[in-house]
Amino acid sequence: MISEESTKIGWSAPSNIALIKYWGKRAHQLPENGSLSITLDKSATTTFLTFQKKDEKVEKISLNYYFQGERHPKFETKTARLLHYLRSEMPFLPDYELVFHSENNFPHSTGIASSASSMAALALCLVSMEEIINHQKRSKDDFFRRASTIARLGSGSASRSVFGGIVTWGCNESIAASSDEYATPFQLHNGSRLNHIRDIILIVSTKVKNLSSSSGHALMNVHPYREGRIKQANTNLEKISNAIRNDDYLRIMEISENEALSLHALLFTSASDGLLLKPETLHIIEEIKQFRESNGLDLFFTIDAGPNVHLIYYDDQREIVLPFVQQRLSRYCENGQWIDDKIGTGPLLLTPETDS
């Protein structure tokens, strides 16, 4: 039995693509190394949370999770696990019936990190709910920092999706206010070309990869190159931060590609079948390098833990990049599929319509 009227909250949160990769974690969802990503614009998850007070006090958390209109047992279990963990932080959770309705506006299994956008949208809904129930309005900074912390507990990369622009996560001496607990937006100066950075996602394969990110992170605990990797990633983060501040776009390109290839080198040399790249992935990399050299450009590629390639370039190169993708790269994509995205401004509150 439930009483009182229900309340509905909705957030849309974008996905992100990391240039410096989070790979390996310790304790409860803390990163072994710092990371840096671009928050995307179009590729997002929209989540609505409806909550209604239960009549009787029951200790168990009650929730239903719908994905693209249908009950989704896997997401329900994942969400239940997170909410259970959050019970000491959010003691009101068992007092409510919770219903989540979530949708992605990008195709499933396209190599876009859906856990990043979905966990970010979920965390934002939970922190909004907390504010409503506790009749407590946080400052904007506190609100998003808390949402980033909660999102991190659901999925590490989701901590970064709570902010727009370029975002870092993980303590690093060269980045003021950086933390392992939550992500921090990276301040770009007005003239930085990164304000106009774009991402074309080349879908080499839509097959679900046989290595979940959680198992991938776990491989790092016993990886022979573990120590070296932590050092390399933190140094790369420091170097890319300086390169961004100094508008050194060639250096940004070099470091980003080094990170993508390092991630896969770690996968190849893991105690598991870590060969996630496909022949098409390598063809695309070759084409990008040739195109870049013959046109004197500073665009580059990055890859997550899968075969799909992100072509990162700047708005002022769009006229020459689009025909290159259509004529040279789309042939390596499954059914010629690619997604046209760019840097975005971060999550959007859909309902209730206040200025959180």
Hunting for tokens 């003021």 — which residue is that?
176
Beta-bridge partner residues of 66: 71, 101
Cβ nearer to ligand DP6, comparing 22 with 100:
22
Of the pair 212, 295, the CB lying nearest ligand DP6 is at: 212
Of residues 50 and 308, the one with the C-beta less far from ligand DP6: 308
Q: What are phi and psi of 277, to 5 degrees?
A: -75, 150
DSSP result, 69-123: TEE-HHHHHHHHHHHHHGGGTSTTGGGEEEEEEEEESS-TTSSS-HHHHHHHHHH
Instruction: Name the pairing type of β-strands 62-67 and 96-104.
Output: parallel
In the block, tokens 């499933």 appear at: 108
CB 237 within 8 Å of CB 174: yes
Min dist CB 26 to ligand DP6, Å, is 12
CB of 225 to ligand DP6, least distance (A): 16
Please state the closest distance from residue 23 (CB atom) to ligand DP6, in A.
6
Residues counted in the chain: 356
CB closer to ligand DP6 out of 2 and 261: 261
Q: Which positions lie near ligand DP6, rule CB under 6 A?
A: 18, 21-23, 35, 113, 115, 155-157, 213-214, 217, 263, 304-305
Give backbone dihedrals phi and psi of 70, rounded to 5 degrees, phi first. -125, 150
- In angstroms, what is the minimal distance from the CB of 183 to ligand DP6? 11
Residue 108 CB, shortest distance to ligand DP6, in Å, is 15
- Whichever of 162 and 305 has its CB closer to ligand DP6, that residue is 305
The residue type at 144:
F
Considering beta carbons, is residue 133 or 230 the nearer one to ligand DP6? 230
Give the tokens for residue 156. Answer: 């590490």
| Shortest distance, position 237 Cβ to ligand DP6, whole Å | 11
